[in-house]
Amino acid sequence: MSSSTHWNSTEETALINFLVEHRAEAGDNGNFKKSVFERVATHIAPLLTKGPLKQCRSLQNKWAAFRKTYRTVCAIREVSGWTWSDTTGASIGPETSSTWDDYVAKHPDAKPFRNKAWVHFDKVASLMPSHSDTPEDDSSSDNEEDALAAPVSTGKHTREPTTPAPAAKRVRASAGVSALQEVAASVARFGDVLAAALAPPPVLVNPTPRHRLDAIAAARKHETWLHRFQLLVLIDIFRTDVTACDVYLSLLDDDELRVEWVASQINLPNPISSFI
């Protein structure tokens, strides 16, 4: 992650909450596709307080850092002799300070959790795979498959039979069976024709994705008075509410009313003229 990328606690919490709400889109290894992080970027854009808007790569790197922190905390919780607390972390006192110092010397990422917990642990844990976050070695499963496929040795040498196995006999269908098969095929073809004839006519109005794209394109063209992050908020509204897309497109012929409506949707204060 670039050193110029600044994260505030509100952005971090919003990122994790969004991933929790969309956990069904996570892969088996606890990772998310790029398209998910692109939606997160739009979702957290209004929370920006410093630096440039977060791009997809910054969000992916932040999630990777959270996963690393999760593994760090898990390791601390497993150390014998320490008592983990959701408030005071490893709860290191005078009697355990020497073992802690030795541990941090080998695991410097553990240092922040000497007497402080990690507020995101439970939510990140809910997004992690059921087993270790480290990719499993596939060689073990390959070996097991090889073992199952290999013949079991009995300690005796066996010879392969020299006489080939008899070929399977072909079963010749009777005339009656063939006739029934032809009738079944004819019925199936008739069903296809009937289904095509009864199919409803194609919908002539724009589908929902087209509405969204039209609304977003119009907003980029007309709402030049919005700041970039405010435009992202409006786009996110269009993404989740097709009715808002319809209302917006219907107001394109009335600039003043459209601007007031947009301002109300993204919670801008009045008067509107100060933003144009």
What is the pLDDT of the chain when averaged over all its residues? 79
Are 73 and 120 within 8 A, CB to CB? no
pLDDT band at 88 (very low <50, low <70, confident <90, very high): very high
Are 83 and 96 within 8 A, CB to CB? no
Region for 81 from its dihedrals, namely left if φ exceeds 0, alpha if ψ lies in -120 to 50, beta otherwise: left
Q: What's the Cα-to-Cα distance from 134 to each of 24, 36, 121, rounded to whole Å?
A: 20, 22, 17
Say what the pLDDT of residue 65 is. Answer: 94
Say what the pLDDT of residue 239 is. Answer: 87
Say what the pLDDT of residue 97 is. Answer: 92
Tokens, residue 261: 């409506």
- For the cut 90, the answer to whether the pLDDT of residue 151 exceeds it is no
Query: Rounded to whole angstroms, how far apart are CA atoms 32 and 136?
Result: 18
pLDDT band at 30 (very low <50, low <70, confident <90, very high): confident
Say what the pLDDT of residue 135 is. Answer: 42
**Over the stretch 256-265, which tens digit does the pLDDT of each residue have?**
889 888 888 8
Compute the average pLDDT of residues 225-238.
87
- For the cut 80, the answer to whether the pLDDT of residue 184 exceeds it is no
- For the cut 50, the answer to whether the pLDDT of residue 41 exceeds it is yes
**Beta-ladder partners of 89:** 85
